[in-house]
């Protein structure tokens, strides 16, 4: 059974295929409106995530399919102590495909071991969030027209920011890419992520603690939120929360065609004044999420049939 | 120091110095009835110092455990006082239920029945990471 647990489960060619399908869906939505008729998506969300869940549900409904599921652990059998593997095995009988979000790292992989339908990892703690990365890639492609020869700046929480790790992994497969890593010392990119995706591949990169210093060379600025839920210690969270706040003033030295991305929700790391800037791509990015998820559901259901 | 030679049994040699007691424990050699000799800090031309374990019985040892704790060890099988086989150990690609993930955010901490699986991610070091959460196993050396 084909699942999507980690973005690296997909080859660059497969990602290109998904992006192509997503763009086709945007252009000709009517072609796809009955593509998943009589198919059911189960959204098993053990922690709340409005945007991701609604985006999955909207994707399936737009394909003519149906959805069922739960949006927090308290309203599921998990509250009675049922294991993830048992839930996955049982729910497989009620649906054709599962999107799972869980606060524990590796939970969707555990589910995939007992499920008899494809599992999509919709975020497992601070670990992976592959459909966010697909959304990010679709956004880069639509906004910049290419993945090659781009300088990608990632800013904020690079330690716990799972979207950053996956984005770096996925982008590291394209020609001429450079990375600029902007974070406070405490939230630097983990050594093994840097080794695996940047150093081992000989990709040029630089590190900085000052966003303004590197702004002028970025083609893409990917901002992240310092997430309260990833800290055990409230004091550390409060201290690091306001490390980088993007304002129109800081954008003065940025390229005219740079794009600003953010996986959302934001807290205060991008000032609302930036929203008016045409380079702010984060709302367009959030809309892209639905279409790439439609393409993914189609692909996995197609492969499950074969 | 003299230790009787083995007639039928195993000699685990070239163990990284200091690792023998951990291997003794993880291979559950304390449960054996036969003689077991643990030699620490024996001199070695290649390694400077090494540990050796001699087991006076032809038991099956878990080579994954051995490969994880001491990837350069050798296991010699002795039958009727003659060396019949010498196996060179290497780090296993996959460790199942040998070590546990210590990441409090890992699903293995709450999903009690699942196997703890670690995958070899760097053969040179060697380094293992949890299959579920990618957390590195604590260094053994």
Q: Are A145 and A171 in contact (CB under 8 A)?
A: no
Average pLDDT over residues A7-33: 97
Quickly state the pLDDT bin for B141 (edges 50, 70, 90). very low
Query: Who wins on pLDDT, B141 or A117?
Result: A117
Matching residue, tokens 């000052």: A210
Termini Cα distance of chain B:
26
Say which CATH class B9-88 falls into: alpha beta
Residue A24, SS3?
helix
Q: Nearest to residue B24, comparing CAs of B9, B6, B40, B7?
A: B40
Strand partners of residue A167: none
DSSP state of A101: E
Number of H helices, E strands in chain B: 2, 8
Question: What kind of architecture, by CATH, is found in domain A131-285?
Answer: 3-Layer(aba) Sandwich (3.40)
Mean pLDDT within B104-114:
91
CB pairs under 8 A between A and B: 52
Confidence (pTM)? 0.89
Write down the mean pLDDT value for chain A.
Answer: 93
Residue B123 pLDDT > 90: no
Flag if A125 and B105 touch (Cβ within 8 Å). yes
Of the segments A72-76, A231-235, B85-89, which one has the largest average pLDDT value? B85-89
Contact B113 A85 (CB under 8 A): yes
Return the structure tokens found at A107: 């939970």
Q: Which of B105, B114, B129 sits opposite A110 (nearest CB)?
A: B114
Domain residue ranges of chain A, discontinuous segments joined by +: 7-128+288-305, 131-285
Mean pLDDT, rounded, for B83-100? 94
- The pLDDT of residue A161: 83
Domain ranges of chain B: 9-88, 94-130
pLDDT at A192: 85
Please tell me the distance from the alpha carbon of residue A4 to that of residue A276, in angstroms, as a whole number. 35
Q: Which of A5, A101, A106 to mutate to test the interface with B (most CBs of B within 10 A)?
A: A106
Nearest CB neighbour to A85, from listed B114, B129, B136: B114
pLDDT per position as a tens digit, A138-194: 999 999 999 999 999 999 989 888 889 999 999 999 999 999 999 988 889 998 899
B107 touches chain A (CB under 8 A): yes
Whether residues A126 and B105 touch (CB distance < 8 A) is answered with: yes
Residue B140: the pLDDT is 57
> SS3 of A146, please?
coil
Structure ipTM: 0.86
Report DSSP state, residue B6: P
- Reported residue count of chain A is 306
Q: Do the Cβ atoms of A106 and B107 come within 8 Å?
A: yes
Q: What is the reported pLDDT for A240?
A: 76
Contacts of A103 in chain B (CB under 8 A): 105
**Measured between CA atoms, how close is A212 to chain B, in angstroms?**
33
Task: With a cut of 50, say whether residue A131 has pLDDT above it.
Answer: yes
Q: Domain A7-128+288-305 class?
A: alpha beta
For chain A, first and last CA: distance in Å? 10
Q: What is the pLDDT of residue B2?
A: 61
CB contact under 8 A, A127 and B133: yes
Catalytic entry in A13, A27, A80, A276: A80
Residue A101 annotated in active site: yes
Cα–Cα distance for residue pair A43/A126, rounded to 1 Å: 19
Same fold, A7-128+288-305 and A131-285: yes
Instruction: Kindly write down the DSSP assignment for every residue of B21-79, as one continuous string.
Output: HHHHHHTTGGG-SS-EEEEEEEEETTTEEEEEEEESS-PPP-HHHHHHH-TT-EEEEEE
**CB atoms B111 and A124 under 8 Å:** no
Q: How far apart are alpha carbons A86 and A293 in whole angstroms?
A: 26
Side-chain half-sphere CA neighbours of A267 within 13 A: 15
Beta carbons within 10 angstroms of residue A265's beta carbon: 11
- What tokens does A256 get? 């005219």
Q: Contact A85/B105, CB-based, under 8 Å?
A: no
CB contact under 8 A, A83 and B113: yes
Rg (CA), chain A: 19
Give the residue on B whose Cα is nearest the Cα of A102.
Answer: B107
Q: Give the other-Cβ count within 10 Å of B76's Cβ.
A: 16
Higher pLDDT, A161 or B96: B96
Query: Cα-atom radius of gyration of chain B, to the nearest Å?
Result: 17
CA-CA distance, A89 to A83, in Å (whole number)? 10
The percentage of residues in chain B with a pLDDT greater than 70, rounded to a whole number, is 95
* Residue of A105, A124, A230 best to disrupt the B interface, most CBs of B under 10 A: A105
A263 pLDDT tier (thresholds 50, 70, 90): very high
pLDDT at A242: 76
To the query of whether residue A51 is one of the catalytic residues in this protein, the response is yes
Give yes or no: A173 in active site.
no
Which is it for strands A205-208 and B9-16: parallel, antiparallel or unpaired? unpaired
- Angstrom CA distances, A150 to A51, A68, A172, B2, stand at 28, 40, 11, 68
Query: Which of the residues B126, B130, B131, B134 would you substitute to probe the A interface, choosing the one with the greatest number of A C-beta atoms within 10 Å?
Result: B134
**For A104, which of B105, B113, B135 is closest by C-beta distance?**
B105
The dihedral sign for the CA sequence A211, A213, A216, A219: negative
Q: Are A165 and A193 in contact (CB under 8 A)?
A: yes
Instruction: Please determine, for residue B99, whether its predicted confidence score (pLDDT) is greater than 50.
Output: yes
Residues in B touching A84 (Cβ below 8 Å):
107, 111
């Amino acid at each position: 059974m084909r699942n999507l647990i980690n973005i690296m489960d997909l080859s660059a060619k497969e990602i290109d295929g998904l992006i192509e399908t997503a763009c086709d869906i945007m252009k000709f939505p009517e072609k796809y409106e009955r593509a998943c008729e009589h198919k059911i998506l189960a959204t098993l969300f053990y922690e709340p995530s409005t945007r991701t869940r609604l985006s999955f549900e909207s994707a399936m409904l737009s394909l003519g399919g149906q959805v069922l599921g739960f949006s927090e652990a308290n309203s599921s059998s998990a509250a009675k102590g049922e294991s993830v593997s048992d839930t996955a095995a049982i729910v497989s009988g009620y649906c054709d495909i599962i999107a799972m979000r869980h606060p524990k790292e590796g939970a969707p992989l555990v589910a995939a071991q007992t499920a008899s339908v494809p599992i999509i990892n919709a975020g497992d703690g601070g670990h992976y969030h592959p459909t966010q990365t697909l959304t990010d890639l679709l956004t880069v492609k639509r906004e910049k027209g290419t993945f090659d020869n781009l300088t990608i700046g990632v800013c904020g929480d690079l330690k716990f920011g799972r979207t950053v790790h996956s984005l770096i992994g996925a982008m590291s497969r394209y020609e001429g890419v450079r990375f600029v890593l902007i974070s406070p010392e405490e939230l630097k990119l983990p050594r093994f992520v840097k080794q695996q995706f940047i150093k081992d591949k000989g990709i040029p990169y630089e590190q900085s603690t000052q966003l303004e210093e590197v702004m002028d060379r970025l083609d893409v600025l990917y901002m992240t939120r310092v997430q309260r839920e990833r800290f055990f210690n409230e004091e550390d969270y409060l201290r690091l929360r306001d490390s980088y706040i993007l304002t129109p003033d800081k954008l003065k030295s940025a390229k005219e065609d740079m794009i600003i991305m953010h996986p959302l929700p934001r807290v205060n790391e991008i000032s609302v004044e930036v929203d008016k800037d045409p380079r702010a791509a984060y709302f367009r990015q959030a809309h892209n999420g639905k279409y790439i998820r439609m393409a993914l559901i189609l692909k996995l259901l197609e492969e499950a049939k074969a | 120091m003299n230790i009787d030679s083995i007639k039928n049994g195993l000699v685990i040699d070239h163990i990284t110095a200091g690792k023998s007691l951990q291997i003794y424990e993880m291979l559950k050699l304390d449960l054996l009835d036969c003689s077991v000799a643990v030699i620490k800090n024996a001199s070695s031309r290649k390694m400077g110092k090494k540990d050796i374990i001699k087991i006076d019985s032809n038991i099956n040892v878990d080579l994954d455990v051995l490969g994880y704790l001491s990837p350069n060890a050798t296991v010699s099988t002795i039958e009727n006082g003659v060396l019949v086989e010498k196996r060179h150990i290497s780090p296993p690609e996959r460790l199942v239920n040998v070590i546990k993930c210590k990441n409090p955010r890992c699903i293995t901490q709450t999903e009690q029945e699942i196997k703890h699986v670690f995958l070899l991610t760097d053969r040179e070091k060697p380094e293992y990471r949890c299959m579920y959460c990618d957390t590195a196993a604590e260094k053994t050396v």
